[in-house]
Amino acid sequence: MVGYEVYVRSFADADGDGLGDLAGARTHLPYLADLGVDVVWLTPFYPSPQADHGYDVSDYLDVDPRFGDLAEFDRLLHDAHQLGLRVLIDLVPNHTSDQHPWFVDARSSRDAAHRSFYVWRPPGPDGGPPNNWVSHFGGPAWTYDETTGEYYMHLFLPEQPDLNWSEPRVRAAFEDILASWFARGVDGVRIDVAHTLMEDPSFRDNPELAEPADELLAGVAFDRFDHRYDLDQPGVVEIFHGWRRLADKHDAVLLGEVYLLEADRVARYVAEDALHASFGFVALRVGWDADQICGRLRPFVDSLGESVAWPLSSHDDSRAASRFGGGEVGARRALAYLTLLCGLPGAVFLFQGDELGLDDADLDAEVAQDPVALRIPGATGRDPYRSPMPWARGRHLGFTTGEPWLPLGHNRTPADTVEAQLADPDSHLERTRRLLATRRALPPLTDGSPLEWVLEDGPVIAVERGGEVLVCLHVGDGQGPATLQLPPGCRLAYASDDHVALVDGDLILPEDTAAIVELDPSDEAAQTAFLDEEDRALLDDARAEADAVDDDLAAHDDDPITARRVAP
């Protein structure tokens, strides 16, 4: 499948209050269906104090009035299904809001009915926190509660107390929550921080990896520890066995945010009778380097196979175009990288705006809304990734008729909008649409066909699916275009750039581009039928360039697919 993350508060505002909502998302469902999306993931829309923009839930079974109501959600679900789209909602099981009725009761007394719903510990020997665990957002993972004289655990904000998944009533409550949404027609859930639900029962200190500095930013402090006892603990996967039985009854999907970078650890979560799939976050942690891309993605392909979902970007990570250099160069590379991801087993997920080639928004520090930026001096936070979606020319680029909750960014222009790019057949949007259509049209890319890494040393990466489709990415090394000598009868099915061409069996691949080639087309006539007049002119230019290559470069190896350099 192709998934698409809708960060609800930044996607589309229907009522003009400056905040995206469910009605706005519903309005643009036809756009997503036309783009080639199969699955829409909605970030949290539940009632929430919004300390962490909805990931602090105060009611798991309702809709925050700022985003709409249950009737509007039902309309969105109906319209999505009418368009052939499936809908995943974001489930946040690691923690609740401190305003959730469970926690309000839990902190009222040590004998409260919901006390055991949360993780409580007495102070340490020095009267401080029980251990050295730290929050993802900086500072200790413990907050002292004056009323009851104990610390409660929070791997995120103090306003997000961690649930105690050793408590059977918590497990039963969440199975009821899942059953309610599945009965409503929801097609699955994306499970927030799925690897954090259990803790070491002895609450041992995590080993330090380095001497802590006096002032550490969020993330840096967290990364100073080996999280041996607070993440990915025994018993977590067992929780999902019960969820799987429930989901399978409703033909629903469990997609985990298992933010671990080791393939063997993630593979445990998608073993039989656990999650259907997990995100492969290594896809967000590679630079524009062929060795990194192969070295980090291949273990996930080998270990997870079809059970991995490849994110191009996300609301928690810098956009692909920024990670790969920013501006036009970054956008060009992001599309080429997406092409490779479309050739790998599993699902591919776009974050809203990826299809437009957006990079991170350029925002002034004083407009910060992310709690990371607001609470940690010097931290940039995640706002640049979460700025509103640019839809059309005009004020606030069509996101809202009011004042947006977060500016779109100084670097957003009318050319970035959906409206402008829909009118341009060479736009990033249209190239992305063609890519997704090509992926859908070639069964080996979606039917579980075996994968072979044909080229993984050097600047060109090539994978073959089922002996029928070749997907190539040229990361580049400053030496200009490369070619791949292909078997007879191949067809160029997709190119991320106009200068990619297939000439006399040679695939000419400039740097920072990618291509999909059908190695054995079923329709011989289709080999040239796909070329329009402009494509033929480009091919003629490429043919003339290839003819000028020195004789010694024209000699190929015996391998059916080999890389060689083409003179500029």
Q: Is residue 213 predicted with pLDDT exceeding 70?
A: no
Rounded percentage of the chain residues whose pLDDT exceeds 90? 86
pLDDT-based confidence at residue 550 (cuts at 50, 70, 90): very low
CA distance 316 to 199: 24
Residue 211's pLDDT is 73
pTM score = 0.91
CA distance 287 to 324: 7
Q: Is residue 370 annotated as a catalytic residue, yes or no?
A: no
pLDDT-based confidence at residue 377 (cuts at 50, 70, 90): confident
CB 45 within 8 A of CB 56: no
CA distance 429 to 416: 10
pLDDT, average across residues 406-424: 97
CB 313 within 8 A of CB 354: yes
Look-up of token digits 């298992």: 258
Distances (CA, A) of 230 to 26, 37, 203, 208, 471: 39, 36, 8, 13, 40
Annotated catalytic residue within 56, 98, 159, 257: 257
CA distance 195 to 1: 23
Could you please state the CATH topology (level 3) that the domain comprising 449-565 is classified under: Immunoglobulin-like (2.60.40)
Residue 226's pLDDT is 95
Q: Which of 311, 309, 285, 310 is nearest to 296 (CA)?
A: 285
pLDDT-based confidence at residue 138 (cuts at 50, 70, 90): confident
For residue 494, report the phi and psi dihedrals to the nearest 5 degrees: -155, 140
Ranges 82-86, 280-284, 406-410, 541-545: which has the least confidence: 541-545
Q: Is residue 537 predicted with pLDDT exceeding 70?
A: no
CATH number of 2-93+165-198+234-436: 3.20.20.80
Average pLDDT, the chain: 92
pLDDT-based confidence at residue 520 (cuts at 50, 70, 90): confident
| Number of neighbouring beta carbons within 10 Å of residue 17 | 15
Among 134-138, 170-174, 539-543, top mean pLDDT goes to 170-174
CB 137 within 8 A of CB 218: yes
Residue 445's pLDDT is 97
Number of continuous H segments (helices) and E segments (strands) in the chain: 18, 20
Euclidean distance between the first and final Cα of the chain, in Å? Answer: 38
For residue 10, report the phi and psi dihedrals to the nearest 5 degrees: -120, 5
User: Which class is 101-153 in CATH?
Assistant: alpha beta
CA distance 118 to 461: 48
3 state SS of 229:
coil
Residue 221's pLDDT is 85
Q: Is residue 567 predicted with pLDDT exceeding 90?
A: no
CB 4 within 8 A of CB 49: no
H/E stretch holding 491 reads: strand 491-495
Q: Is residue 192 annotated as a catalytic residue, yes or no?
A: yes
Annotated catalytic residue within 192, 370, 383, 511: 192
CA distance 328 to 498: 15
Residue 186's pLDDT is 98
How far from chain centre, in Å, is Cα 135? 22
Q: Is residue 26 predicted with pLDDT exceeding 80?
A: yes
Q: Is residue 568 predicted with pLDDT exceeding 70?
A: no
Q: Is residue 3 predicted with pLDDT exceeding 70?
A: yes
- Say whether 101-153 and 2-93+165-198+234-436 share the same fold: no
CA distance 12 to 18: 9
pLDDT-based confidence at residue 352 (cuts at 50, 70, 90): very high
Q: Are strands 491-495 and 469-474 parallel, antiparallel or unpaired?
A: unpaired
Q: Structure tokens of 154?
A: 């929070």
Domain assignments of the chain as residue spans, ordered by start? 2-93+165-198+234-436, 101-153, 449-565
Q: Which of 8, 62, 47, 57 is nearest to 160 (CA)?
A: 57
Q: CA triplet 119, 123, 125: central angle to 5 degrees?
A: 140
pLDDT in tens, 474-514: 999 899 999 999 999 999 999 999 999 999 999 999 999 99
Q: Which of 476, 554, 467, 543 is nearest to 514 (CA)?
A: 476
Q: At CB < 8 A and 24+ separation, what contacts does 403-406 make?
A: 403/18, 404/13, 404/18, 405/9, 405/10, 405/18, 405/19, 405/369, 406/10, 406/363, 406/367, 406/369
CB 440 within 8 A of CB 452: no
CA distance 216 to 197: 26
Helices (H), 352-405: 371-375, 383-386
Residues 6+ apart with CB under 8 A from 110: 148, 150
Ranges 32-36, 121-125, 278-282, 530-534: which has the least confidence: 530-534
- What count of Cα atoms within 13 Å lies in the side-chain half-sphere of residue 223? 6
pLDDT-based confidence at residue 230 (cuts at 50, 70, 90): very high
Q: Are strands 513-518 and 491-495 parallel, antiparallel or unpaired?
A: antiparallel
Residues 6+ apart with CB under 8 A from 176: none
Dihedral sign for Cα atoms in the order 480, 520, 451, 40: positive
Q: Where are the beta strands (DSSP E) in 261-386?
A: 277-279, 308-311, 347-351
CB 516 within 8 A of CB 469: yes
pLDDT-based confidence at residue 460 (cuts at 50, 70, 90): very high
Residue 210's pLDDT is 77
pLDDT-based confidence at residue 544 (cuts at 50, 70, 90): low
CA distance 518 to 133: 52
pLDDT, average across residues 167-173: 98
Residue 533's pLDDT is 54
Q: Radius of gyration of the chain from Cα atoms?
A: 25
